[in-house]
A and B are shown apart, each in its own frame.
Chain A
Amino acid sequence: MQKVSFKLEGDPQEYILIYDFNTVCDVEEKTGLNLMTYFGRRSAAITRAMLLALLLPNHHGISGGKEWAVTLTEAGNLLTKDIAVVTGYMTQAINLGDDWILTVPRAVADPILAKAGGEDAKAQEMAIALLEAGLEPPASAPGPVAVPKPEPVAVAG
């Protein structure tokens, strides 16, 4: 699994986001929310729960003999600090190394997909290959993001 790590201005804590489907399922069970709706019209509650799911794989452990894990409230606090930056990293974490062509704005993606022969998986792979090979100008389309290797993180419980 690939990771996205980031720090926010004025906050020494390093946050690491990992998209793990099972953790998403666990957070759904805990919150009663359907996190698949994150990929459509997302609400604040869905965004916060998805952030919790992305943080949990790395931000949990045992401290002083007690188990701890990042909480929904802490995820909400992080969003409060800088929602635009945090949700940007969330998008990266969810799509990193994956089918990110699906997240490319249609105006950019459609001509490439059309050239590749449609929208099926094979065409998408070809479109991604075209973009990665620099054969198509990516314009403002987000591509795979170079992420610094994360350092071990200690998070207060």
Chain B
Amino acid sequence: MLLGARLSPLVQLDVGGALRPMLFTHRRLLLIEELTGINTLERVDLGELSARSIAIFITCAIGDENIGSRDVGRHINIRTIRQYRDALADAWKASMPEPRPARKKNEAPSKISFSWLKAWAEARADLDLGDEEWLDMTPRQVDALYRVRSRQRRRENILIGKLGAAIVNWSGRAKAPVTPEAFLGMDLSDEDQEAMDGPLTGEMIMAALAGFPKSK
């Protein structure tokens, strides 16, 4: 069983009397893209899928090599189509990242395009994931790792800001006290503020510096 299936809400579909778990890993999403031409990294409108795409999405989400899209199609009729589409939507939701907080008013939507190449490269470089490891993960799992990594980075940045401010303030040359925020180019969340207000210990500094590349 895929680890992603353990870490995601369980979605099962009754196909011919047998319950089949459904999940969208990167490997399965790439296969869907290959078979349907639908860019699964973009926002996919599941309500607009064709009959063929519905069968392919469901078959790939089941991921059982003994079940093909025609096997799935055999069980779909007007009476069951709603059940199949609901299961598809639930599996999609269970596999995709948690929605981000709503954007501020008048804030332009992100124009950053996300390609499979970029997704793979970032997962390897930033999260140190191997190819197979990444292929068998859901976008939701990778997003969860990114969130942890992002929090670590923010904490490191805050630490650097506090360290910089401490050095300047203790140098005796500062005309006015410098705050750690002056070293940070980011807005502080409540969680960041908590880290900012906390103590600055030697262990914290050592831990942050341990992340820097070492000279050979």
Across the interface, name the chain B residue whose C-beta is closest to A1. Answer: B77
Residues of chain A lying within 8 A (CB to CB) of residue B74: 21-22
With contacts A25-B73, A121-B83 known, is A19 near B78, CB below 8 A? Answer: yes
Interfacial residues of chain B within 109-126, with CB under 8 A of chain A in the complex: none
Q: Which residues of B contact A47 (CB under 8 A)?
A: none
- Quick one: which of B69, B77, B82 contacts A25, CB cutoff 8 A? B69
Question: In the complex, A91→B51 CA distance in Å?
Answer: 17
Chain B 36-53: CB-based contact to A (< 8 A → 1; otherwise 0)? 000000000000111110
Number of A-B contacts (CB under 8 A): 50
Give every chain A residue within 8 A of B83 (Cβ-Cβ). Answer: 121
Cβ of A98 < 8 Å from any Cβ of B? yes
* Chain A residues, CB < 8 A from B69: 25
Contact B52 A28 (CB under 8 A): yes
Inter-chain contacts of A35 with B (CB < 8 A): 50-51
Q: Contact check, A29 vs B52: say whether CB atoms are below 8 A apart.
A: yes
Question: Is the Cβ of A98 less than 8 Å from the Cβ of B79?
Answer: yes
Interface size class on chain A is: 10 to 19
Interface SS of A by simple majority: helix
Contact B49 A21 (CB under 8 A): no
What 0/1 readout, one digit per residue, does chain A (98-132) give for beta carbons within 8 Å of chain B? 11101000000000000000000100000000000
Asked if B22 is an interface residue, CB under 8 A from chain A, the answer is no
Across the interface, which residues of A come within 8 angstroms of B77, CB to CB?
Answer: 19, 21, 98
Assess whether A36 is in contact with B54, with CB atoms less than 8 Å apart.
yes
Is B78 in contact with A25, judged by CB distance below 8 angstroms? no
Produce 1/0 per residue, A22-46, CB < 8 A to B.
1011001100011110000000000
Q: Which residues of A contact B165 (CB under 8 A)?
A: none
Question: Which of B54, B78, B82, B83 has the most CB atoms of chain A within a 10 A radius of its CB?
Answer: B78
B residues near A (Cβ < 8 Å) are 48-52, 54-55, 69-70, 73-74, 76-79, 82-83
Interface residue ranges, A against B (CB under 8 Å): 19, 21-22, 24-25, 28-29, 33-36, 94-95, 97-100, 102, 121
12 chain-A/chain-B pairs, Cβ below 8 angstroms: A21-B74, A21-B76, A21-B77, A24-B52, A25-B55, A33-B50, A34-B51, A36-B48, A36-B50, A36-B54, A94-B78, A102-B78
